[in-house]
């Protein structure tokens, strides 16, 4: 069972390339047996946007940030940014996976001192 504190991704058993579930074959080599792999959860902001006009379900959360994170494993995932600092987000900011809920992945930004 998936632990909400683990970020599970897929790794091809043949060529070792990583991907985001669900996948039924490796998109790099075509092998048909990807396996779950516990990602490091470390990465960087590849790009981001701030939501000011949200769907009804999230309207009480505006403004909030959504980002595409490039993980250390080399794949990109979309996730919410858990705001920890008042300083603005920047492309390249270091991030760490925090949890997964029914809406997706959550990351915290690691501000460099």
Residues 103, 75 within the same domain:
yes
| Domain harbouring 47, CATH code | 2.40.50.840
- In angstroms, rounded to a whole number, what is the distance separating the alpha carbons of residues 8 and 72? 14
Which ranges constitute the DSSP H helices of the chain?
none
For residue 111, give the nearest of 97, 101, 96 by alpha carbon. 96
Residues 52, 100 within the same domain:
yes
Instruction: Examine residue 15 and state whether it is found in any structural domain, yes or no.
Output: yes
With contact defined as beta carbons under 8 Å apart, do 18 and 9 qualify? yes
pLDDT tens, position by position, 11-27: 888 998 888 766 678 87
Identify the three-state secondary structure at position 96.
strand
DSSP 26: -
Which residues span the domain enclosing 60? 42-110
Provide the number of structural domains found in the chain. 2
pLDDT tens, position by position, 54-109: 999 999 999 999 999 999 999 999 999 997 777 789 999 999 999 999 889 999 99
The pTM score is 0.76
Residues 63, 96 within the same domain:
yes
Residues 30, 48 within the same domain:
no
Residues 51, 31 within the same domain:
no
Residues 66, 17 within the same domain:
no
- In angstroms, rounded to a whole number, what is the distance separating the alpha carbons of residues 39 and 53? 32
With contact defined as beta carbons under 8 Å apart, do 72 and 46 qualify? no
Instruction: Examine residue 104 and state whether it is found in any structural domain, yes or no.
Output: yes
Residues 24, 78 within the same domain:
no
């Amino acid at each position: 069972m998936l632990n909400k504190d683990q970020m599970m991704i897929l790794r091809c058993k043949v060529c070792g390339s990583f991907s985001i579930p669900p996948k039924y074959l490796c998109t790099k080599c075509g092998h048909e047996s990807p396996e779950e792999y516990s990602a490091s959860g470390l990465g960087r902001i590849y790009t981001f946007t701030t939501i000011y006009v949200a769907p009804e379900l999230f309207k009480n959360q505006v403004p909030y940030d959504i980002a595409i994170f490039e993980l250390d494993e080399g794949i990109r995932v979309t996730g919410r940014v858990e705001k920890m600092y008042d300083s603005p987000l920047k492309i390249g900011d270091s991030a760490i996976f925090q949890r997964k809920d029914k809406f997706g992945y959550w990351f915290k930004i690691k501000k460099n001192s």
